[in-house]
């Protein structure tokens, strides 16, 4: 009996070590709790983030140990990537946003248009008067397809009454990046310098790759399988993140 208990404990320990290695070096699951990345990521989406894409920093590991001061095997992220990072304010909270500004870039919003280095980002309206979530509020928005200078395309939502019509100029420091939520008027991101601001390269956790499960909690808990036909978004399973 004692031998069997020891063997079971060993098996459990091996499983935990393997899970820890996968989480630290390969893929980590994340949950989307807010609407800041709508219409591309929805509340209730569960996704896999690749930990190796940009190399490894202390934030690649549980509890962010202070062992590493620089990234190991670093790779520069691409403009337009959807990235999980630790907020500079506390180096603990996970945020997920789209990378808009590279080191040295000048970012600004003017008249509801995004400018990078004084050049307006091309966009075209694809849907109008769409009601989407913003915290406890539903807001009427227009959807635009934006095309970044490197050709990356994605949908961005702009509130019709334009709460974020204009912004200051943001000059991205060396070794830092500027992030924005795709739900432009409902995202706490690099535009808010006191709480998020410019994100150091070492704070990047990984690249969002794929949605593996999605559940609309407003229509039923995932545990209530008898409501799956209404709550589970089967069409989002294994959806690649762009």
d(CA 7, CA 9) in angstroms, rounded, equals: 5
d(CA 201, CA 71) in angstroms, rounded, equals: 8
- Look at residue 157 and tell me whether its pLDDT is greater than 70: yes
Beta strands in the chain (DSSP E): 27-31, 45-50, 82-86, 94-101, 106-110, 113-116, 119-120, 122-134, 137-147, 153-159, 170-171, 176-180, 199-200, 204-214, 239-240
Which residue among the candidates 34, 35, 36, 187 is catalytic per the annotation? 36
Residue (of 110, 135, 47) closest to 83 by Cα position: 47
Q: What structural domains and CATH numbers belong to the chain? A: 2-240 (2.10.109.10)
Which residue among the candidates 51, 57, 60, 97 is catalytic per the annotation? 97
Give the three-state DSSP class for 7.
helix
pTM score, whole prediction: 0.90
Q: How far is CA 4 from CA 7, 11, 14, 149, in A?
A: 5, 11, 15, 61
The pLDDT assigned to 176 comes to: 98
Per-residue pLDDT tens over the stretch 8-42: 566 677 677 666 666 767 799 999 999 999 999 99
For the question of residue 214 being annotated catalytic, the response is: no
The pLDDT assigned to 112 comes to: 85
d(CA 78, CA 71) in angstroms, rounded, equals: 17
Contact (Cβ atoms closer than 8 angstroms) between residue 96 and residue 83:
yes
For the question of residue 207 being annotated catalytic, the response is: no
1-15, 39-53, 144-158: which has the minimum mean pLDDT? 1-15
């Amino acid at each position: 009996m004692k031998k069997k208990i020891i063997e079971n404990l060993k098996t459990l320990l091996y499983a935990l070590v393997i899970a820890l290695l996968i989480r630290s070096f390969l893929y980590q699951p994340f949950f989307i709790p807010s609407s800041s990345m709508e219409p591309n990521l929805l509340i209730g989406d569960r996704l896999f983030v690749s930990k190796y894409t940009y190399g490894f920093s202390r934030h690649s590991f549980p509890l962010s140990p202070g062992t590493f001061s620089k990234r190991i095997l670093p790779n520069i992220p691409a403009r337009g990537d959807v990235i999980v990072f630790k907020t500079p304010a506390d180096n603990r909270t996970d945020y997920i946003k789209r990378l808009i500004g590279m080191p040295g870039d000048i970012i600004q919003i003017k008249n509801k248009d995004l400018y990078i280095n004084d050049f307006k980002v091309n966009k075209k309206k694809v849907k109008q008067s769409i009601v989407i979530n913003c915290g406890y509020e539903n807001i009427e928005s227009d959807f635009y397809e934006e095309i970044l200078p490197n050709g990356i395309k994605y949908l961005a939502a702009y509130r019709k009454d334009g709460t974020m019509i204009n912004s200051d100029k943001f000059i991205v420091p060396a070794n830092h990046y500027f992030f924005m939520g795709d739900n432009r008027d409902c995202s706490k991101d690099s535009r808010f310098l006191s709480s998020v601001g410019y994100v150091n390269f070492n704070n990047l956790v990984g690249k969002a790759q794929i949605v593996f499960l999605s559940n609309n909690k407003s229509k039923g808990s995932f545990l209530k399988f008898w409501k799956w036909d209404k709550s589970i978004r089967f069409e989002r399973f294994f959806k690649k993140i762009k």
